[in-house]
Amino acid sequence: MSTAEQIRQLSRTEMAARLARDIPDGWYVNLGLGLPTLIPDYIPEGREVVFHSENGVLGMGPLPPKDAVDTWLVNATKQNITLLKGASLFHHADSFGMIRGGHLDLCVLGAYEVAENGDIANWATNENDAIPAVGGAMDLCSGSRRLWVLMEHTTKEGAPRIVRRCSYPLTAAGVVKRVYTNLAALEVTPDGFTVLDMAPGLSFESLQARTEAKLHRQA
Amino acid sequence: MIDKRVATVAEALADVKDGSVVLLGGFGVVGQPQQLLEGLLAQGARDLTIVSNNAGFGSPGLPKLFASGRVAKLICSFPRPTPPAFEELYRSGKIKLEVVPQGTIAERIRAAAVGVPAFYTPTSVGTRLGEGKETRDFDGRTYVMERALHADVALIQAWRADRWGNLTYRGTGRNFNPVMAMAAKLTIVQTRHMVELGDLDPEQVVTPGIFVDRVVLVDSPDPPPA
C-alpha cells in the first residue's frame, strides 16, 4: 500500500470540482445538504446548469450579500438564497412531482454508505434514540433520473463506506449511478463498482484496500 | 355576494373542533401562518393532528402549541432540529410522530384535494418507512401504495388575497400552502395584503378562491434572516 505522503487526497472543494466537471450544459440538478452545496461554484465556465431546491425553486442562485437578503427565499437547509434570471417558483407537490417524475437530470447527495448494488443509506443511523427525520431524501433517491453521491471514501476512523451491503437503514435500493470521493470516482454497474479515476499517487490496490466492496478496472 | 373576509383571527378559527386534522403550511417558518397558529393556541381545540413539514424549530407558534398538550399527533417529514417542547412529549410518549417522506406528504395531500383515494409511489420501497405497506409492480418496478391525507382544517399563509379567496404567495413561502389549501374541509387563510376584487391578475392567481373558506388580514412580519 502506498504511504499517505505519496497520495494526494482531494480536498472538499476539489471533490466538488471533480464532480462538477461531469455535469453537462443544460442539466437540471438538485443538490443535497453538506458537500454537494459546494458544486455550483465549480461548474465550468460556459455551461448553463439550473439548480432545483425541493421547497419549490428552479434557478437558485448564490447566497445573498448581507445587505440584500429577501427572507422569503430559502433553500432546503432554510438558508436565504437568491434567484437567477429565468428562475421559477412552484408548490411542493409540483416540486416533488419534478423529482419523482424523473424530470431532474441529476441529484447529488451525501451518504453514510453506498453499496455495490447501488443501495444508499443516508437518512438514519442505527442509533435507536434519535428522533426519525427523512425530509426529501427518499423522494430524491428514488425519483431522480440519475443519483450521484459525493462523500468521503472512508469514515474519519478509516472504516469503509463503499461497501458490499449497507449496514445503515436504506434510503433507497439500487439507485446510485456514481460515487465521487476524496480518493476516486466510481461508476455503479451491474457487476459492481468500476473505477473511473483515482486521486494522484493512488494505486488501484491501495484504493481497493480502503474499500470493502470489490472494485473493477475500467474495460 | 361572496365575501370570505373575516375581521379577526379568533373569528376565523372559532369552530375548529377537538380531534381535527390540521394542515399547517410552511417550510420551516417561511410561509407558516404564525398568527393563525397563535390563534389556534388561544382557541383551545384539543387532541389535534398537525400535518407540517417540520416540527417547529425557529417557529414562534408551533412549539407553544405542542407545549399546551393539545396536539396528539404530528405528521411530518423532518422534525429536526427538534424544539424542546416536542422532544419532551415525544420521549415521554405523549405525542405520536408519523415520519413521511416529504414528497409523499405533498402527494398524499394533493391526492385528497383532487379526489384520488390512493396512489403508488417508488419512494420508500425497500426501506424502513415502506415496511408493511401494500406494494405492486408496474413495468418491472415496485411501488408502495399511499393513501390520500384528508384534513378538517388547513391554515395557510398568503401574500395577497381578495374577498373571493383568490390567493398569491411570496417567494418560497408558497411551499405546501397551495396544495394544503385545496385539501381541507375548512381552509383558513391569513394574508399580508387584502386587495379589491379584480386587483389580482387572473393569470397570476395561484390558489383559486373555490378552495378557500375564510381570509383574515394580518400584519405579519417577514420571516427572520436565516
Q: What is the mean pLDDT of residues A41-69?
A: 95
**Cβ within 8 Å, pair B99-A132:** yes
Q: What is the mean pLDDT of residues B157-176?
A: 98
Say which range, A95-104, A122-131, B81-90, B123-132, has the weakest mean pLDDT: A122-131
Cα distance between residue B163 and residue B4, in whole Å: 5
pTM over 0.90: yes
**Catalytic residue at A152?**
no
Task: Provide the 8-state DSSP code for A42.
Answer: G
Residue A3 confidence class, pLDDT cut points 50, 70, 90: low
Supply the CATH number for residue A77's domain: 3.40.1080.10
| pLDDT at residue B132, rounded to an integer | 96
Q: Which of A116, A124, A95 is nearest to A186 (CA)?
A: A116
- Rg of chain A over Cα atoms, rounded to whole angstroms, equals 18
Of A69, A136, A170, the CB nearest to B126: A170
Question: Minimal Cα distance from B27: which residue of A?
Answer: A55
Range of the domain at A39: 3-217
Q: Which of A22, A202, A204, A212 is nearest to A117 (CA)?
A: A212
The predicted-structure confidence for A113-146, as pLDDT tens digits, reads as follows: 999 999 999 999 887 778 999 999 999 999 999 9
**Cβ within 8 Å, pair B30-A173:** no
**Cβ within 8 Å, pair A72-B223:** yes
Q: A132, A124 in Cβ contact below 8 A?
A: yes
**Cβ within 8 Å, pair B173-A53:** no
> Looking at the predicted structure, is the pLDDT value of residue A2 above 50?
no
ipTM of the prediction: 0.96
Percent of chain B with pLDDT over 90: 98
Of A71, A131, A132, the CB nearest to B225: A71
A113 CB within 8 Å of a chain B CB: no
CA distances (Å), origin A133, targets A124, B79, B84, B180: 8, 6, 16, 21
> Looking at the predicted structure, is the pLDDT value of residue A207 above 90?
yes
Q: What is the CATH number of domain B18-99+150-217?
A: 3.40.1080.10
Min Cα separation B1/chain A (Å): 30
Residues 14-43 of A with CB under 8 A from B: none
Q: B68, B93 in Cβ contact below 8 A?
A: no
Cell of B129: 418507512
| pLDDT at residue A59, rounded to an integer | 98
- Which DSSP string do the residues of A2-24 spell out, in sequence order? --TTT--PPPHHHHHHHHHHTS-
Count: domains in chain A: 1
A93 CB within 8 Å of a chain B CB: yes
The predicted-structure confidence for B107-150, as pLDDT tens digits, reads as follows: 999 999 999 999 999 999 999 999 999 999 999 999 999 999 99
Which of A70, A74, A109 is best to mutate for the B interface (most B CBs within 10 A)? Answer: A74
Residue B202 confidence class, pLDDT cut points 50, 70, 90: very high
Which among A5, A14, A54, A152 is annotated as catalytic? A54
